[in-house]
Amino acid sequence: MTSVKKHDQTFQINAVKYVLEHPDLTMKECASNLGVGLSTLARWKTLYRHNNGVIPVRGSGNYASDEQKGIARLKKELRDAKDALDVLKKAIRILRKN
């Protein structure tokens, strides 16, 4: 099984800067020199260009504050409660038919 190598945001930004600072090299050569895939480097470059020099990192699971973490927890609890209520409503409808 192949393990997925994760690169932090600083590495990604520095990789894009490397590409921009070496116009004499192709993207494929830059990717090879950095040890990353060509499509990965191209994606980072696109994100860098569209987000004003920042590459957003998604899915880290970290929240900016304890308040945001609490809000996310409450939203999950509300969603779970609504799902449970829907299941109970369906069960009651089935029992009433019988």
Terminal alpha carbon distance of the chain: 52
Per-residue pLDDT of the chain (98 residues; tens, 9 = 90+): 556 677 888 999 999 999 999 999 999 999 999 999 999 999 999 999 998 888 877 655 666 777 888 888 999 999 999 999 999 999 999 999 87
Sketch the domain layout of the chain as residue ranges.
1-58, 65-98
Q: What pLDDT does residue 72 have? A: 87
How much is the pTM?
A: 0.56
Cα 80 to Cα 28, 34, 56, 83, 87, distances in angstroms: 47, 44, 29, 5, 11
Q: What pLDDT does residue 8 have? A: 86
Please state which CATH class domain 1-58 belongs to.
mainly alpha
